[in-house]
Amino acid sequence: MVRARKRFGQNFLVDETVVQRIVSRFAGEQTLLEIGPGQGALTAGLLDTGASVIAIELDRDLIPLLNNKFAHYKNFQLQQADALNFDFTALSQLAPLRLVGNLPYNVATPLIFRLLDHLPLITDMHFMLQWEVAARLTARAGDNNYGQLSVVMHNLCNTTLLIEVPPQAFNPAPKVNSAVIQISPREMPIVPPELTTDFLLIVKAAFAQRRKTLRNNLKGIITENAIIDAGINPGLRAEVLDINEFRALAEYHNTHAD
């Protein structure tokens, strides 16, 4: 086994049960894009499903190891690249893509946000993430972890927390728990694109101070009467509002803006 590199966020998956649970989400006749194959813990099982696997790995030292290990698979392609700068549109001919990866913790959130710009190419994504991030991305209105990230994600995708994974499943073991989530793009965002600016402004302001009510957090953006007119109680906190209620506020803001 090669030494794990901290700067690449390398925590290699060693628990076969977790590997199998992730791999069982896939079947042949699909194009899978694996981010960060590492030493191939997931890649082997993914290739055995018969799917075509394109893997993007940043660490140059792992490239020969991966190429040797999977040389006999015709359905394997490896690219040495940084997923954060990768041109995903270059793969549009291979779409629809299913993405999968045990993501380095510092890469996960910026990568997922980049991928939100490429949703038409993507059927779904299965990512292993730090548990806190997984919880925020999958939270529903009223959950403790529900916030800006949850609302913005829910507008574009359905998200499900699939598997909770303890530190011992990795070598070296990280300090935090992890979880695998599925992100499936919606056919259409819930908030129509022409309301995106209003929506993002309202979501950001509404969660600016979690313990404050909408009436207070939205001061200067939308009046108390306007909140009521949009059908929402201004005495509520943002954390209980679902995506449709944020959409109603965005609509109201858009049609009543100066």
Chain positions contacting ligand SAM, by CB under 6 A:
8-13, 35-38, 41-42, 56-59, 62, 82-84, 102, 104, 107
| Smallest distance from ligand SAM to CB 10, Å | 5
| Smallest distance from ligand SAM to CB 98, Å | 15
Using the minimum distance from each CB to ligand SAM, give the nearer residue, 53 or 137: 53
203: nearest Cα among 134, 169, 156, 133: 156
DSSP conformation letters of the chain: -PPPPGGGT--EE--HHHHHHHHTT--SSSEEEEE--TTTTTHHHHHHTT-EEEEEE--TTHHHHHHHHTTT-TTEEEEE--TTT--GGGGGGGPSEEEEEE--HHHHHHHHHHHGGGGGGEEEEEEEEEHHHHHHHH--TTSTT-SHHHHHHHHHEEEEEEEEE-GGGEESPPSS-EEEEEEEE-SS-SS-GGGHHHHHHHHHHHTSSTTSBHHHHTTTTS-HHHHHHTT--TTSBGGG--HHHHHHHHHHHHHH--
| Smallest distance from ligand SAM to CB 177, Å | 14
Instruction: Enter the tokens of residue 186.
Output: 């919606």
Using the minimum distance from each CB to ligand SAM, give the nearer residue, 11 or 217: 11
Rounded Cα distance between 65 and 63, Å, is: 5
Using the minimum distance from each CB to ligand SAM, give the nearer residue, 103 or 218: 103
| Smallest distance from ligand SAM to CB 171, Å | 8
Using the minimum distance from each CB to ligand SAM, give the nearer residue, 23 or 218: 23
| Smallest distance from ligand SAM to CB 106, Å | 8
Strand duo 31-35 + 97-102: pairing: parallel
Using the minimum distance from each CB to ligand SAM, give the nearer residue, 40 or 234: 40
Question: Whose CB is nearest to ligand SAM?
Answer: 36
Using the minimum distance from each CB to ligand SAM, give the nearer residue, 84 or 176: 84
Using the minimum distance from each CB to ligand SAM, give the nearer residue, 137 or 202: 137
| Smallest distance from ligand SAM to CB 165, Å | 10
| Smallest distance from ligand SAM to CB 101, Å | 6
